[in-house]
Structure 1
């Protein structure tokens, strides 16, 4: 079993491929390489672009490498296959939910989902599933339950600013925000537990 995460931005050129590779590495480190699969797509891609050069530089600095990437268009099939859809902005979440209304309960901006997970207490040992994929599904359920307890925030606090057209420093700042959200999302989860 795999917990499938889909990262979405506009062109699948900057934010979502950075988020994809940062989350894939962080989840692999957490779970020993098992259980989570991360993909990315764009709501309006101008063509099959590679990752933006600044994004590639940032990832190389942080991860020691950058995975090959070619932008792909968001599709109903990609959304339908995902257990969790994390978008860069509220606008992109709207596109996802308009295309696949059934995704409403599993589509969030990445910063919104991190804020929801902040309200999820770290469970006692044995209170969460051992399997990484099941941990992902548990986290999604707990985050949705936390939604009613949170105060609203200004909408722009739930969006990830687009560094496209900006400097390398703008891409570094975007990656900082992505990494912060990813760290917060993975916080309540434990390492994979080998079967007894």
Structure 2
């Protein structure tokens, strides 16, 4: 991965359903945009080594996204501290991540929240300052834009706070997984497009994806 690339960590509860879909779809859309960013995933209450649910895989298949065997990983302080951007499934997950590593507050968003606010932030925005702007030296290529999104999040509230969450489809029919995958893909397309628009020259390479589980 090139210097300036931004590691992205995606988080849900068990790391067997939502976050694996988030990981694969975001990596896929970033690759389409030529954005060099490593995408990993973890769960706040994961059973280490558990596979992705079958229906999550089927939902990814339905969107034409290739995926490799998945093994769940538990969220750690080190994973949070090493990420340039942390995207969670829900506001509760976001709160858990921030409570675990308070210094990451400016780099932690729900996935749908980041897509919504990033879509309203001018490409190339950034500059110094703002919460979390210097918290991840290994993500300096995208840190200014991420900091700009953090500063703008209060200016672009959702119509309903729950709109920033991804409902858990676990235990529900396949169509619930497919609906979740479509919402994730919509957010992934927006995020990839915004990061591509604001990326530094050093990050203009194919994406590298490595499973955290």
User: Structure 2 length normalisation: TM-score?
Assistant: 0.79
Runs of 4+ in structure 1 off by over 4 angstroms are 191-195
Cα deviation, residue 155, structure 1: 2.1
| Residue matched to 1:118 | 119
**2:171 is the alignment partner of 1:171:** no
Helix, strand or coil for the counterpart of 1:63? Answer: coil
**2:101 is the alignment partner of 1:100:** yes
In structure 1, distance between residues paired with 2:140 and 2:191: 15
Cα deviation, residue 134, structure 1: 5.7
**2:149 is the alignment partner of 1:143:** yes
In structure 2, distance between residues paired with 1:14 and 1:170: 11
Q: Which runs of 5+ in 2 are unaligned?
A: 127-138, 205-213
| Residue matched to 2:9 | 6
Q: Match for 1:183 among 173, 184, 189?
A: 189
Relative to structure 1, the CA distance from residue 192 to residue 97 in structure 2 (aligned partners, 3 Å threshold; closer, same or farther) is closer
After the TM superposition, which residues 36-75 of structure 1 pair with which residues of structure 2 at under 5 Å, given as runs? 36-75=37-76
In structure 1, distance between residues paired with 2:65 and 2:189: 18
User: Structure 1 length normalisation: TM-score?
Assistant: 0.85
| Residue matched to 1:29 | 32
Contact kept in structure 1, 2:142 and 2:200, CA below 8 Å:
no
Q: Which runs of 5+ in 1 are unaligned?
A: none
In structure 1, distance between residues paired with 2:48 and 2:96: 19
